[in-house]
Structure 1
Amino acid sequence: MVLTGKLLSQTEIKCDGDVIHEFWGSKPHHISGISPDKIQGCDLHEGEWGTAGSVIEWSYFLDGKAQTVKQIIESIDKVHKTVVYKVIEGNLLELYKTFLVKIHVDTKGENNLVTWTFEYEKLHEGIEDPTTTMDFLVKVTKEIETHHL
């Protein structure tokens, strides 16, 4: 059985795509104010907001329980509107040996498209793909969209 996986989700948004990129790249600590039932906080542990190499920790509610994840921001590309996070601590690492999260916002044309990509390695073959985590991030993204319409 293959333990490595890649999961992708694309969502069309009506708000300015630059806003979505800015929140996930430079202002993640503001997301809990928009989606407080899902995200309780985002704290900076090292570095500065909006810079690669910074370490942030999220507190969130998923699958009926409080969870945390600590991530290092591997890259932020303002031109191509991508942010890449690498999970370094937290609940996800109870299931996955490695977990990389990428968000890309395509702002070409009339409609904006948000693409979330997960690359991961499961600890063992009995672990499900992280579809509930993907659904969670899509819902939070849609709440940011609604907040800015």
Structure 2
Amino acid sequence: MALSGKRVAQIEIKPKGDVFHKLWKANPHHIPNLSPTLVQNCQLHEGEIGTVGCVLHWNYLYEGKDCVAKTRILAIDDEKKLTTYQVVEGDFLKLYKNIYMYCHVDTKGPNHVVTWTFEYEKLSPDVPDPDALLDFYKRLTKDIETKHL
């Protein structure tokens, strides 16, 4: 069983992808207002929001448990509407050596598609692949679409 892996999910959204990209890049502190049942808090921990290197502290409800995470923005590509994050602290690092998340928004004609990609390395072979985490981000994306976009 491989310790490293990659998971991808695509979610079609109705509103313009620019708005979704800007939310995740520059206004993540608004996400708890858009999906309070999944994300309770997002605060700047280090750096400047919307810039490479900033660290965000998250409180969220995952599989019925209160959890925390810190994510660092590693890269922002406004032209491609792609933001890259690394989980640098929190509950998931009890199971995974590292997790990188990519949020890419693509426009295909009148449709806009959000692609979440997770690259990860498990601490041991008995750790499950992060499919439940991917499902969490699918639900979060749909919540944001419904309430904001």
Q: TM-score range by the shorter chain?
A: over 0.9
For 1:49-105, what per-residue CA distance to the aligned partner results, in whole angstroms no more than 9, with x for missing partners? Answer: 100000111100011100011011001111100010011100010000011000100
Establish whether residue 77 from structure 1 lines up as the match of residue 109 from structure 2.
no
Counterpart Cα distance in 2 of 1:71 and 1:27:
14
Tell whether the 8 Å contact from 1:15 to 1:148 is kept in structure 2 after alignment.
no
Count of residues paired in the alignment = 149
Establish whether residue 59 from structure 1 lines up as the match of residue 59 from structure 2.
yes
Offset of residue 5 of structure 1: 0.4
The corresponding residue for 2:93 is 93
Q: CA RMSD in A?
A: 0.9
1:87-126 equivalences under 5 Å are 87-126=87-126
Establish whether residue 43 from structure 1 lines up as the match of residue 51 from structure 2.
no
Counterpart Cα distance in 2 of 1:12 and 1:132:
19
Offset of residue 148 of structure 1: 3.2
The corresponding residue for 2:139 is 139
Instruction: Name the aligned partner's letter for residue 40 of structure 2.
Output: Q
Counterpart Cα distance in 2 of 1:89 and 1:131:
19
| 3-state DSSP of counterpart to 2:101 | strand
For structure 1, the 5+ residue unaligned runs are none
Identity %: 50
Establish whether residue 21 from structure 1 lines up as the match of residue 21 from structure 2.
yes
Q: So what's the TM-score if we normalise by structure 1?
A: 0.97
Counterpart Cα distance in 1 of 2:58 and 2:18:
22
Counterpart Cα distance in 2 of 1:65 and 1:146:
24
Offset of residue 9 of structure 1: 0.3
Runs of at least 4 residues off by over 6 Å? none
Instruction: Name the aligned partner's letter for residue 126 of structure 1.
Output: D
Q: So what's the TM-score if we normalise by structure 2?
A: 0.97
